[in-house]
Chain A
Amino acid sequence: MSASARPARFRLLEPVMLLWVALVAALLVLVAAPLVKMLLISFEMQDTGEFTFENYLTAYGRQRYIDALRNSLMLGALSAAISTVIAVPMAWAVSRTDMPGKGFTWAMVLAAFIMPPYLGAIGWILLAGPNSGWINVTWRALTGATDPLVNVYTFTGMAFVIALHSFPLVFIFVKSALDLISSEMEDAANILGGGTWTTMRRVTLPLVWPSILGGFILIFLETIALFGTPAIIGIPARINVVTTQLWQFFEDPVRVEVAAAYAIPLLLITVAMIGVQKLLLSRKGFVSQTGKGGERRQVKLGPWRWVLFGWCLLVGLLAVIKPLTVLLQASFAKAWGRGFSLDNLTLRNYRFLLFEHDVAPQATWNTVWFSAASATMAIVLALLVAYIVVRRLMRFADVLGFIAMAPFVIPGIVMAIGFYAAYAGPPLSLYGSALLIILAFTARFLPIAYANSQAAIRAVHPEMEEAARILGSGRLHAILRITAPLLKTSLLGGWLVVFIVASRELSAAIFLVGPRTRTMSVLLYDLSEQGNFEVVSAFGGILLVITMVIVGIGMKLVGRDFMLRRE
């Protein structure tokens, strides 16, 4: 290379090009490499690395393993269906009607979202254990019946408990879509003779059908990736699912290859679902924003508004108030089975965790800083990618956007196994390190951050930046001084959402943590193995308080509906 050629070449290299390369590298490390590595090892012999189909035969060679897959798919579908039934009326009521208690409903949705699913599962064991659950004890006392009213240790019981902590996602999706529909469409239906219900059924809901379907698919994917609830409820209920089965492949001898082979079909199922979604939505119009203004009025429901409020109240009771009450009782109890009485009260469980437990304080700190670090990384990465994609700064920019969204359709547990396969062992040997967990969380929640950033950047018209650039500002300077301040609020909202979901994450963490990097969710899982629900509840209480403090600060800064800003 001659000395004079160099500067000429560098002149072609715009800074944004370097950024592009850096982003591609980051996305490769975070998303592509783990998946490719997993695909590769699923065809490798454990010791020799030779090509083989053996892993697939082992992974699907037993009825029990196939049953686990079937159970997961059914569980995902059922939980998603229950979530939809719970959430759609709530979203409609809050968005479009004069139902009272909207603030309360919002608070319940937020609380159900913050509460980790495994904590809800423990709450529901205390509520709906067939013999000892409060609901059944009360039921028997009132009616004299011998059979339990509800049993959490069943397939439907488990699906129901999962749905109670997943429905907020459908709620958020559907409500934000409903918020965009102007009343004119409903008015048209009314003029043609349709009543409130007909209009809702035939006009309003079909318009938000893509959001409902999107929420359904997301919950389906989240459910098949869940590990905590199936371990806590599924094992006593004798229901084996994909995640608990994958866990078994990690028993000695560790068979990552078989686990990978077992997980690959999940990806195919996901791809198929996205395909079905495309098919269902094709050749139909869902345009609700015409740009012609249009006002949004609340539908007057008359007495029916109390029925809807009753529904929201019921959901709030089941998802938040009841489980939280029993968890709180257990956390202050010597023995939760002995109920509410003064001589049963103790601070021992909290004292044990805060002052006597070796790693509980450290796990708490780990959770906070892992979640904060991955939320920050995800938002920064997502913002840069979204900026390039939205402003069309590069050719092939869309590819970046696609990779950033890809983890959305990858079940979290598959992601975790990919990370284990790619980075746990040599040459990097990151197993058990904080870095590995932060990277995995970042990758897992990148799509949330990306969707958020993309929406935020779209909302800022390029004219403002252009004005600055005409006045002599560089691009970076313009971004820093003009765009970033405009985006601050919505980015903080996105950061909060990622922080919350990362702080409750278990299924990826469980495969990657080491002794010094355990998070609260992993420690809660370890503690729950002994069925020591008093201490588990106390630890859950501490986790909730921490999350609530951070959400509280966030709401002060961003406003109450920060969860909605991602659309």
Chain B
Amino acid sequence: MFLIDRRQMLALAAWSAAASKAYAQAPMHPQERELYEAAKREGEITWYTGQYSADASEAAGRAFNERYPGVRCNVVRSTSQVAFQRLSQDFRAGVGQCDVFSSTNGGHYIQLKRQNRLVRFRPVNADGLLPILRTPDPDNFFQSSFLGIYLMGHNTNLVSEAEAPKSWTDVLDPKWKDKLAVGHPGFSGAIGLWALQMRTMFGPDYLRRFERNKPQVGRSSIDPVTMMTAGERSVGVAVPSASTLFAASRGNPLKLIYPTEGVIAALSPSAIPTNAPHPNAAKLFQEFQTGPALSTAVRLLFNESIRPDVPPPEGSRPLDQVTMLAPTLEQAERGVPEVREQWREIFGV
């Protein structure tokens, strides 16, 4: 759990969109400029990502292209487990295609680091991140690029706020049978973290009891947002706050639920694989992700800013007022594959 103090929060609120824009166009520091010159010779960078939604990933890619003309960002967006699967296939085939790898499942980085598959690099901009995100790896093989909040949401036409579940264990109540929707830990990294956290907090029986309510299983953690929007299911479990707020902003009857125990926080890094075909562009992209330009681009689509100098998105609860639950990266490395297998035994898919 981490806290920003009130004074910092007030300072954040004072930021206007214009100020953010100025930050996105902020002059490059020497290391960044040097990398940019080298990256221009490489011309492009390929980004495997499962962190931000498709819209926000594309927005981030465009923000990169605007800030660094002459270096093109290829956005390859999928769920995190699928992105990792593609990276593993690349390694297995001995073909380097990915320059920067971004997954919501932090365990991936522990594994890649142990396999000596990551490049050691610390972007200068990382010093300006939120304190808890500044040093995810003391050896600097990976750097923070994403802070995702996963909680519950409900369709306000189908379930009133009073009736809606309040805690993670409320959804085990049989009255929610056929009303829930959730992603899949075999595809979504965040759902892997969520399932692991639930197992840790409530014991191994949690998933089995959850299954009895026959939740609709999608692939991405964002899928339940669609199911709620459509009215197919009334409550989404472990949905990302950003996509839910984004859907609500388009006029859909959705509302967030902050579970009493706390929200799942994916504090997720990005890293450069050793077989990256454009190593300088990859480093430049890490500077971009840790710098203000990324946070400025994605906050417009309701994602959390990962820097104190870029204000948080509108409509989400300030981070200092929520309890954040998260397995450590080491727990995730071992635990997520385990819980994924357990999930498949219970759910059949």
Contact = CB atoms under 8 A, between A and B. Distances in A.
B217 interface: yes
B335 to A, nearest CB: 15
Interface stretch (A93-101, A305-313, A425-433, A490-498): A425-433
Interface string A242-258: 00100010111110100
A58 interface: no
Nearest to B57: A358
B238 to A, nearest CB: 14
A424 B95 contact: yes
A335 interface: yes
Contacts of A64: 344-345, 348
B216 interface: yes
A132 B88 contact: no
18 contacts: A153-B216, A239-B349, A248-B186, A252-B85, A256-B92, A335-B251, A352-B55, A359-B74, A425-B92, A425-B95, A426-B94, A429-B94, A429-B95, A514-B90, A516-B74, A526-B78, A526-B82, A529-B78
A336 to B, nearest CB: 7
A526 B83 CA distance: 10
B108 to A, nearest CB: 8
Given A239-B348, A335-B247, A529-B78, 12 more contacts: A64-B348, A131-B233, A153-B216, A238-B347, A252-B85, A254-B85, A514-B95, A515-B98, A527-B54, A529-B79, A529-B222, A531-B222
B137 to A, nearest CB: 19
A351 to B, nearest CB: 12
Interface residues of B, number: 59
Contacts of B345: 64
Contact of B223 (A357, A425, A531): A531
B97 interface: yes
B311 interface: no
Interface stretch (B13-21, B34-42, B224-232, B292-300): B224-232
B48 A431 contact: no
Contact of A529 (B46, B92, B98, B219): B219
A431 B98 CA distance: 13
A117 interface: no
B95 A132 contact: no
Contacts of A338: 251-252
B148 interface: no
A132 B234 CA distance: 11
Contacts of A132: 230-232
Contacts of B233: 131
Given A239-B349, A531-B226, A131 B54 contact: no
Contacts of A334: 250-251
Interface string A532-567: 110100000000000000000000000000000000
Given A235-B219, A251-B85, A532 B226 contact: yes
Given A425-B94, A431-B95, A532 B349 contact: no
Contacts of A425: 92-95
A240 interface: yes
B25 interface: no
Contacts of B226: 530-533
A334 B247 CA distance: 9
A163 interface: no
Given A431-B95, A529-B219, A530-B222, A235 B251 contact: no
Contacts of B94: 425-426, 429
A240 B349 contact: yes
**Would you call the interface of chain A mostly helix, strand, loop, or mixed?**
loop
B262 interface: no
B237 to A, nearest CB: 14
B107 to A, nearest CB: 11
Interface in B194-227: 216-220, 222-227
Nearest to A348: B250
Interface string A112-131: 00000000000000000111
A235 B97 contact: no
A251 B85 CA distance: 5
A337 interface: yes
A270 B233 CA distance: 40
Nearest to A137: B231
Q: Which of A64, A240, A420, A529 is the most central at the interface, judged by chain B CB atoms within 10 Å of its CB?
A: A529
Nearest to A356: B58
A253 B88 contact: yes
Given A356-B62, A532-B226, A254 B218 contact: no
A425 B91 CA distance: 9
Interface in B40-54: 46, 48, 53-54
A250 B85 contact: yes
Nearest to A250: B85
Given A529-B219, A531-B226, A431 B77 contact: no
B291 interface: no
A515 B85 contact: no
Q: Which of A254, A356, A516 is the most central at the interface, judged by chain B CB atoms within 10 Å of its CB?
A: A254
Contacts of B232: 129-132, 337
Contact of B46 (A240, A251, A357, A515): A515
Interface string B231-250: 11100000000010001001
A251 B187 CA distance: 10
B75 interface: yes
A451 to B, nearest CB: 33
Nearest to B227: A531
A186 B36 CA distance: 79
Given A515-B97, A532-B222, A254 B348 contact: no
B225 to A, nearest CB: 7
B67 to A, nearest CB: 15
Given A357-B58, A431-B90, A531 B225 contact: yes
A529 B76 CA distance: 13
Nearest to A63: B345
A507 B347 CA distance: 24
A34 interface: no
A15 to B, nearest CB: 38
Q: Which of B89, B250, B251 is the most central at the interface, judged by chain A CB atoms within 10 Å of its CB?
A: B89
Contacts of B93: 420, 424-426, 429, 431-432
B325 interface: no
Interface in B83-136: 84-85, 88-90, 92-95, 97-98, 111
B231 A235 contact: no
B73 interface: yes
Contacts of B243: 530
Given A529-B79, A530-B54, A131 B231 contact: yes
Contacts of B229: 335, 337
A64 B340 CA distance: 14
B143 interface: no
B280 interface: no
A336 B219 contact: no
Nearest to B179: A131
B220 A254 contact: no
Interface in A496-536: 514-516, 518, 526-527, 529-533, 535
A236 B219 CA distance: 8
Nearest to B108: A252
B81 A251 contact: yes
Contact of B61 (A336, A358, A516): A358
A336 B250 CA distance: 12
B223 A529 contact: yes
Nearest to B218: A531
Q: Which 10 A-B pairs have CB atoms at the shortest separation, nearest pair first?
A: A531-B226, A337-B230, A531-B223, A431-B93, A252-B88, A132-B230, A424-B93, A132-B232, A530-B222, A425-B93
B283 interface: no
Contacts of A263: none
A76 interface: no
Nearest to B61: A358
Given A131-B233, A238-B217, A335-B251, A250 B89 contact: yes
A235 to B, nearest CB: 5
A350 B232 CA distance: 25
